[in-house]
Structure 1
């Protein structure tokens, strides 16, 4: 445990194929009828303003009018794609982005948007070719350089990420993202003094940008400034109550600052939920211990050190969640799968192009005992977005219902696209260990430990098995010693 901040063959193919995005094409762009006319340009500008003001219906009306002037304009279809994304129509937004590229294959803004879509659906690694194509079309575009630098960092390419961030600084000296990105890279390299200096110069934390606030707090914790980190995180959690990462960091800041009673009072109820992470369980348990409450700490420690569960957990109702989410959860909590299925069906009818609704429908169908329908919904959602929680549920469903090969294929794709995901690495390592492939098991676990997961007893126990399985005595001795250090002391209450 670390305190450093986890069926049918046709459906298997559907989930895998959406993860295999083609390379961006390079062709001669076609010009749209009426493209660039003053009336057309004004309509696009008015639509953009309407979108900024949240008037999506007005924006749609203006774009319909613009389509009558230039139906083959890449600008038009890019605007339509952006509007559909703003309206939660992720799947039809993909179609619009592809239309923009069909009419302008070298159109840099459309290539950038497609790169972002590929990143959302397939991970950082798969999107890099699209970002590179966008930069070939427009090497000095600040937005593309910023997104490219961030994506390289997520893909584990620190040097290339720094190079792109510095390129952004050259073409846009006043763009605060260049300094912020360099701060992130420095923090990942544990150069916290440099990271803090760069972050301060960017001004983004002072302006209250959520990602910058989170980085500021994380640096503060690493520097031992728990109280200041807690103050920042209190603000962020108040603004984003559903941000689990921010909540866990706040709990860590309270723990490091010795605010044990406050930590137990605030996060004790959350630690009682089935979905509580081992990290939060450990923090609350240790706070109970420091208060002399070993009887309260013991069951939390037992849960924290138990083998990681892979089966889906029904999440608790939360006041800050959208009503449809809570409606489905409430139906499942009340053991009324028919109501959950009906709610999901109604949502799909109202929002057929929403990846978020498709994923939520998959959860409802899985909870209602229909894994085939759940995987169909997950496959649809994966066309636009493939976050780790969705992949994890699909992997579990495939493995539980007779298609382990599909489960492993999806898991391998997730690891390839999201190299910094320790939970996915560990899950894939467990599957390699089950077949006795100790070399791959060791490689995956070593990478996970490099990401900060090296204090997890379950991980170290598996790494010890891999060393013994590969007949590496020195490695086995080293991991046995590490495992002995992190195993919890007796959990018996005094």
Structure 2
């Protein structure tokens, strides 16, 4: 198929949005009266960061801190430096320090809005974006990110209104056309989306999100070779992006390049962590080449279930050497070695959310479920994408805490309403509890998002219709399922 239990950040955001501006005015006054040397040091630090000279930026910020330790701009710059250096968890602490000094400091509010969105979903981040906009109503970065977050939360009308505000605040901002292109594509108006995306110029400049949208539009328009070329470049830049890899496999398959699908993704499909969608694509490639024996087991895995969310780490081309080393050890059955390598990385990079995830994976592979959950929780303070949520839910189940898994999946689906996989995973849990009405609603929404041709989804939706005694729905779903279910294959 192709969670967030912590309410504390939301409560903090509500307090910030409702507080007076006195503290911010005091901070602004301090900044205006600050020694010009401080402003110069902050500018020099920004320039060094832009050039990738992080150590030099750190020296400049240390000098600025000695002169103005209570400057919110200083602490925001420290947060940005820590993010660039992979110190995700201490970056959040620095941003919070800036907000403690100046609760209506718009740039720090924006940074926290983005981290809340990544960790807790679009819905919970909206209050942070509203606070940031209140602090700086015409800030284009705030308006653009706010608009995108509204769209991700399912509020298309509010997103369009925010995009119009952005156009009014900054005429000619390329993000206006890009965000309009996103809305058009979500509405199935791909010709309009293509025109708007071209007008933005963001794909031409190599912005990853715009390139991904460009590829999706190309696939829908039938320009599969163009889509594949774009996705090849994106996959090289983002080797850990599963959605990009799956879209690339789809583009290659639709373009009749079955041998390339197998060459590029065959080994990955053999791994136990391969998605059902990727399994199906590789199986279809084998089938088209006449190799039914290779296709049959892959289709059986794709449509026959397995262990949803199970954590099995496969080494993958393009991953950082340290990550690849841990994965290789675990895949080879050397769990203690993989755990020791991961723990050594954590000692070197204790504030990295990415390392925390890797440590959690390694500890889980070594059978230490509780310790794995602790590291996953640390990583989730900064970012909790769907693959991590799925792993954590599975780990909660393994630890015997199915209620926590249910809660986590429900929060993720609520915060990321355009994620069909999260909706299906939640629907499967609702079905296991006999909540067929809720199951049907979740699956119908997932179908609208593009998962409506998934045989597993249709099969579960058909069962929900039968349980609810919805005869017309049952007949319609049975007919649709018969059309899309693959012909049974048997090895020859």
The structure 1 segments of at least 4 consecutive aligned residues displaced by more than 6 Å after TM superposition are none
Matching residue within 470, 474, 480 for 1:472: 470
Match for 1:21 among 5, 10, 28?
A: 10
1:258 paired residue among 242, 256, 260:
256
Partner of 2:428: 430
Secondary structure in structure 2 of the residue aligned to 1:131: helix
Q: Is the 8 A contact 1:33 1:70 kept in 2?
A: no
- Choose from 87, 101, 104 the match for 1:106: 104
Mapped to 1, the partners of 2:302 and 2:187 lie a distance apart of 28
- Residues in 2 aligned to 1:118 and 1:83: alpha-carbon distance in whole angstroms: 18
Structure 1, unpaired ranges of 5+: 6-11
For 2:11, what is the secondary structure of its paired residue? coil
TM-score, scaled relative to structure 1: 0.92
Greater RCO (CA < 8 Å, at least 6 residues apart): 1
| Structure 2 length-normalised TM | 0.93
Which residue does 1:249 correspond to in 2? 247
Give yes or no for the alignment of 1:97 onto 2:86. Answer: no
* Count of residues paired in the alignment: 483
Which residue does the alignment assign to 2:299?
301
**Aligned with 1:380 (options 369, 378, 381):** 378
Matches within 5 A, 1:10-409: 16-17=5-6, 21-24=10-13, 25=16, 26-27=19-20, 28-29=22-23, 30-31=26-27, 35-307=33-305, 309-409=307-407
Paired residue secondary structure (2:5) = helix
For 1:338 and 1:390, how far apart are their aligned partners in 2? 22
Task: Determine helix, strand or coil for the equivalent of 1:130.
Answer: helix
Q: Matched residues in 1 for 2:42 and 2:331: separation?
A: 47
Say if 1:430 and 1:239 are closer, same or farther in 2 by CA, change over 3 A: closer
Q: Distance in 2 between matches of 1:477 and 1:89?
A: 54
Q: Given the superposition, is the C-alpha separation of residues 201 and 62 from structure 1 closer, same or farther in structure 2, using an over 3 Å criterion?
A: same
Offset, 1:125: 0.6
RMSD: 2.0
> Structure 1's 427 and 348: CA in aligned 2 closer, same or farther, altered over 3 A?
same
* Shift of residue 20, structure 1, vs aligned partner: 5.4
Distance 1:169 1:311, change over 3 A: closer
Secondary structure of the residue aligned to 1:16 is coil
Q: For residue 408 of structure 2, what is the aligned residue in structure 1?
A: 410
Q: Note if contact 1:23-1:130 (Cα within 8 Å) is conserved in structure 2.
A: no
State whether residues 328 and 343 of structure 1, in contact with CA within 8 Å, keep that contact through their aligned partners in structure 2. yes
Deviations 1:433-481 (A, max 9, x none): 1221111111111111111111122212221222222232222222222
**Residue 157 of structure 1: how far off its partner (Å):** 1.4
Contact 2:313 2:331 in 1 (8 A): no
SS of aligned partner of 1:17: coil
| Separation in 1, partners of 2:213, 2:66 | 46
Structure 1 residues 390 and 235: alpha-carbon distance in aligned structure 2, compared to 1, 3 A threshold? closer
